[in-house]
Chain A
């Protein structure tokens, strides 16, 4: 009996999924405890119930889905534009010292400018519409992404290229048959990490000046002390983040079954 229970406890404690459930339950439990016990003022911490109600009323007012979609659109547009330019440029910088020398100073400089500091300038240039949001996300992710992709491509083992050379690879075949397939899983990881930053910059851009989107919804709720609505906005952003992360990982596993990740 005793031994049996011990072994089942052990099995339970070993499974990573159980740890996942445990952490979610702990956070939810703590939230319930603090809010329902009345120990924390609901203006600071609304109860899960209040947040659910706010969720329904936001939905009924017809703002939740349109705002989510508009934010999603801005993130994707900025992110895809950044990726479309960063991938070829990163590869070119990794493989040519001249291209690297030409772009390195500008990219290194802009990369250290906080995007938040550029938002006033962006508003001056592009107004406060969609284009400005997309531009903020682009600037925020492009310069990081280029360098990450350059690193990923540079990390392709030299002996792999040498092996290809001795098999007769030259010119564009070196790129299409070796460099690109070898670095795609890493590039996918770079994109996944960058997507997180894209969301951050979007919300910042929407907080500063906007009339739609999840960031705008959060800011407006704060003005009316509707903390429950702020929480709805945060939850939606967080869940979208988890979902995109999951999609990236799933896509990686489908596209790169050959990929050997450390510790797996």
Chain B
């Protein structure tokens, strides 16, 4: 279980301080699919990077199974928004990177790689180098690579943000399928409200300046889900609720800017 307690993050640039995150409290239970949704600049990526150990909170703490996070480690797999496959390794060697690094016997690695290439539909492409793959394919490999390392939690930073709309839909369904098989704990970040509702058990809505979690909303939609769910009444009601929440917040922020301008 991932737990975030009273986390603040302040960036200091050239003497001035920016509060990126203020008093973040949240938890992700075992096998939960948690999604943080929020506008760009709300600090959601910073929060995820701190969970990965790539960044440190200014105050507060983040723990995984009660152990505080000190730097990155293989217990927290991460899928980045930008393409981060190792270009000199073939698809299968990319997937084998983590297990090989962590000293898993070669025989075992082979079956792990086969398994994850299978569930992500990459078996035919195993010998290719990343340069031969499309964006969607690269992110499939990135997901397989993260899962092959058997992390306790999968951290995903807008992994489908750079993909076109059709590919994104395919990838969302693929991710749900893999997740339902593996029963991994996932913390997923997006600014796309449809994506958030479609994937999540729980949605944490973030607002910005300073970034804070405004509301935590359970998603009671039944599983397994496919994209038909996007047009159901329950889905649209949830979407309306979240859209209004974010819209209200941005209106408030805009008014504050106007008011401070008048003064």
- Are A258 and B131 CB-contacts (below 8 A) given A168-B101, A177-B101? yes
Interface residues on A, range: 20 to 34
Least CB separation from A166: chain B residue: B78
Contact with B along A133-177 (1 / 0, CB 8 A): 000000000000000000000000101101111111100010001
Is A259 a contact of B87 with CB atoms below 8 Å?
yes
The docked-state distance in angstroms from the alpha carbon of A177 to that of B149 is 16
B44 in the interface, Cβ–Cβ < 8 Å? Answer: no
Least CB separation from A177: chain B residue: B101
Residue among A164, A166, A169 making CB contact with B52, cutoff 8 Å: A166
B38 in the interface, Cβ–Cβ < 8 Å? Answer: no
Is A181 a contact of B131 with CB atoms below 8 Å?
no
Name the segment of B68-76, B107-115, B238-246 touching the other chain: B68-76
User: Which residues of the other chain, B, contact A166 by a CB distance below 8 angstroms?
Assistant: 52-54, 72-74, 76-78, 146, 155
- Are A160 and B72 CB-contacts (below 8 A) given A166-B77, A167-B145? no
B80 in the interface, Cβ–Cβ < 8 Å? Answer: yes
In this complex, how many residues of chain B approach chain A with their Cβ under 8 Å: the count is 29
Q: DSSP class of A's interface residues: helix, strand, loop or mixed?
A: helix
A257 in the interface, Cβ–Cβ < 8 Å? Answer: yes
User: Which residues of the other chain, A, contact B130 by a CB distance below 8 angstroms?
Assistant: 258
User: Which residues of the other chain, B, contact A58 by a CB distance below 8 angstroms?
Assistant: none
Least CB separation from A160: chain B residue: B84
Residue among B54, B89, B142, B149 making CB contact with A168, cutoff 8 Å: B149
B208 nearest CB across to chain A (Å): 23
Is A167 a contact of B97 with CB atoms below 8 Å?
yes
B102 in the interface, Cβ–Cβ < 8 Å? Answer: yes
Is B72 a contact of A181 with CB atoms below 8 Å?
no
Least CB separation from B98: chain A residue: A167
User: Which residues of the other chain, B, contact A169 by a CB distance below 8 angstroms?
Assistant: 101
Contacts from B to A (Cβ < 8 Å): 52-54, 71-74, 76-78, 80, 82, 84, 86-89, 97-98, 101-102, 129-131, 142, 145-146, 149, 155
Q: Which 5 A-B pairs have the closest CB atoms?
A: A168-B74, A163-B84, A165-B72, A167-B98, A258-B129
Contacts from A to B (Cβ < 8 Å): 157, 159-160, 162-169, 173, 177-178, 181-182, 184, 256-260
* 10 A-B residue pairs with CB within 8 Å: A160-B86, A166-B52, A166-B76, A166-B155, A167-B101, A167-B149, A168-B73, A182-B86, A182-B88, A259-B88
